[in-house]
Amino acid sequence: MIVNKAHTILLFLLAATFTCAAQTPLVLERQADAKLKDYDFAAAQDLYRRAYDASSDAAFRNAMVEKMAQCDNGLGMLSFACKPVVVAKKTVPAANFFQYYKHIAADRWGRLADGTLAAFDPSLDKMFFERRSDGQSDIYTSTRVRDSLWSVPELLGSSHMSSKDEVMPIVSYDGKKLYYSSKGLFGMGGYDLFVCQWDEASGSWGEPQNLGFPFSSVGDDFLYSDTPDGNFTIFASNRDCGADSVTIYVLAFKNEPLKTAVSAAEARRIAALEVNKPQAQQAVEVQDEALDNADPLQLKYAAALAQYQDVKDSIAAVSARQADLRSRYAASSDESERGLFQRNLASAEQTMFSLQQQLRTAAGKVQAAEMECLQKGVAIDPSLFSRQQKSKDPDILQLPDYEFLRLPAPGRIVAVFEQPEEQFDYTFRVEDEAVIAESNDVLNEGLVYQIQIVSGSSKLAVRQLRGLSPVFEKRQSNGRYTYCVGKFPRYADAQKALPTVKRYFSSAYIVAFRDGKSMSVANARKAEAAGVDRYQVIFSEYPEGIPADVMQVIRANSSKDIARRTSDEGKVIYYIAPFDSQTEAESLASKLRAAGAKGVSTDTIK
């Protein structure tokens, strides 16, 4: 009996040890990754949370926060999904898949000298391409100056940049939409597909919008475009193929596809994008003899009624999801988890708003069809069509078959880009050899502090300046030479640099100028305190607290204070401050927007 009892205890301890080993952070992460690939974002999110709790490694925990946000995005996208009609698909080598895009005219794209694809707008005078810098790719644009000379490439804009890659831009045939893939903007994983609209009023591209599920998937999705004949939508993805391949999907074009909430199981089926174009002979098969004799107005009314009911079903599904999220939010005491639920609720609310708009439109169509029937004396019979038959869109039935054709690679673009003018670096530093300031005119720009190092009747040689840079040489009216180093906008900046300068010139001291004229340091500091603008970052979409992923971005990029205030209207507003320049504040704001933070802006501190 004693032996058996000891044996039982030993087995229990071994089992407990095995269980603990099986639940290591890395194991939990792998389990979560598998759930994510199956579109089971709720289960994946729970496993990532457990992996986060089980680890003390800061880098690993940050990665888990990012993946939990990814799951949060996925849940939101599945609550607003469409079910496209797939006309054809073909798996091809990833290295040259774009050669199968036969619908893109040869003059609308090409390859730059490094092989990168570049796309043109309809005028052929605006070019879009990706460029890699500092370890990541961003979208750039350039304008033709003349012939093969192009302007200095410029970034598309801060809202189109993330901490990861943006690649493969392509312009719609009318030039009003720009599509590209992003690995870092709001999405469910890998490269997601995004679109932005050209805004004539501002002369710029609008905010990027995720094209949604199933165009964007947990895999990598690229090069979305519509054919100029208006028949098809085409894009490529590696969601269901090997690492060296992609599948090109050809879908029936829909200007405003109906979007509904789908489950994880439905998402897996839809994401496979199996060819499902209905055949004309199948469409004419009817189960009710009355369909053969139905009046076209009756059929129009029945189709409108079916669409109205479909949107109502979607609203019911999203409403149930909102109730579930609110329940889970109320039950959770973890700030990070509550933040994720809150973001998911915000996404569901946006989906509900869009669906309610769709419902009003659908109701209007039902009323219009009903009125038309009444005006023409046609009896209304809603039972004509079953719910299954409403999806047989006559426009889709008339689509031609799609044939894949591999074309030669897009031609080489002969493009010479203008080089940006080199800007003189006025940042204080110590070089091997001193750098003399390019111009003293920069001292005429408002309030400036400098560190005076020496004044004398003789001009100094560069080697005598001991590597201090930039040095401003000034010849006074009495013939004496004065040497100052640096161009500091704040007294604190000059004071910080002073000990370094004093190592080489022990009698160095701070001087001040306003619009090029000398003034006392005391008066300069008073003027600085009274008139220098300071800046802040503001956001106001999180009444229950800042989500963990947003806080992570803030703490990774700033050590500024965060203040929470409630406006007279009861709105919770967060302030991150103070920043000494608008550029510094906007840099953090751009990173927050790229991470999906809502309602972010910058302003001066009043």
Angle subtended by helix axes 335-375 and 41-54, to nearest 10? 170
The predicted pLDDT at position 284 comes to 38
pLDDT the model gives residue 157: 82
Divide the 606 residues of the chain into consecutive groups of 10 and give the mean pLDDT of each group: 54 50 84 95 94 92 89 87 91 95 94 95 96 90 94 88 91 95 90 93 87 94 93 94 92 78 91 76 42 67 75 75 78 69 67 75 81 76 50 56 91 92 87 92 86 94 94 92 94 94 95 90 87 77 76 77 75 82 80 82 78
Integer Cα distance of 178 and 207 in angstroms: 11
- What are the residues whose beta carbons fall under 8 Å from the beta carbon of 60, sequence distance 6 or more? 25, 51
Label the pairing between strands 154-155 and 136-146: antiparallel
User: Distances in Å between the alpha carbon of 416 and those of 115, 376, 412?
Assistant: 15, 66, 12
Asked if 126 contacts 133 with a C-beta cutoff of 8 angstroms, the reply is no
Burial of 170 (0-12, 13-18, 19+ CB in 10 A): buried
- Spatial contact of 160 and 205, defined as CB atoms under 8 Å apart: yes
Q: What is the DSSP letter of 412?
A: B
Nearest to 187 by CA among 78, 335, 34, 340: 78
Which residues fall within 8 angstroms of residue 10, CB to CB, at 6 or more apart? none
- Going from N- to C-terminal start, the domains of the chain cover 21-78, 81-278, 292-391, 429-531, 535-604
What is the tens place of the pLDDT at every residue in 260-319? Answer: 788 999 999 999 999 886 654 443 344 444 445 667 777 777 777 777 777 777 777 777
Calpha distance 581→149 (Å, rounded): 35
- For residue 454, count other CB atoms closer than 10 A to its CB: 17
Sheet with 245-252: strands ordered across: 86-93, 245-252, 232-237, 221-226
Tell me how far apart the alpha carbons of residues 127 and 418 are, in angstroms, rounded to a whole number.
14
Share of the chain residues as helix, strand and coil, in percent rounded to the nearest 5: 40, 25, 35
Contact call for residues 127 and 559 (beta carbons, < 8 A): no
pLDDT in tens, 553-581: 887 777 777 777 777 777 888 888 877 67
Reported as half-sphere exposure (CB side, CA atoms, 13 A), residue 479 has a value of 2
Task: State how far the Cα of 538 lies from the Cα of 547, in Å rounded to an integer.
Answer: 15
- Cβ–Cβ under 8 Å, residues 348 and 322: yes
The residue among 127, 135, 132 whose CA lies nearest residue 107 is 127
Stretch (H or E) spanning 344: helix 335-375
Report the residue count for the chain.
606
What's the pLDDT at 356?
79
Q: Checking DSSP bridges between strand 149-150 and strand 416-417, what pairing results, if any?
A: parallel
In 3D space, the residue among 218, 159, 213 whose CA is nearest the CA of residue 183 turns out to be 218
Q: How far apart are CA 421 and CA 433, in angstroms?
A: 23
Task: Classify residue 593 by burial, with Cβ atoms within 10 Å: 0-12, 13-18, 19+.
Answer: buried
Q: Could you give the maximum distance between any two Cα atoms of the chain, in Å?
A: 110
Fold classification of 535-604 is Alpha-Beta Plaits (3.30.70)
- Nearest-angstrom CA–CA distance, 235 and 222: 6
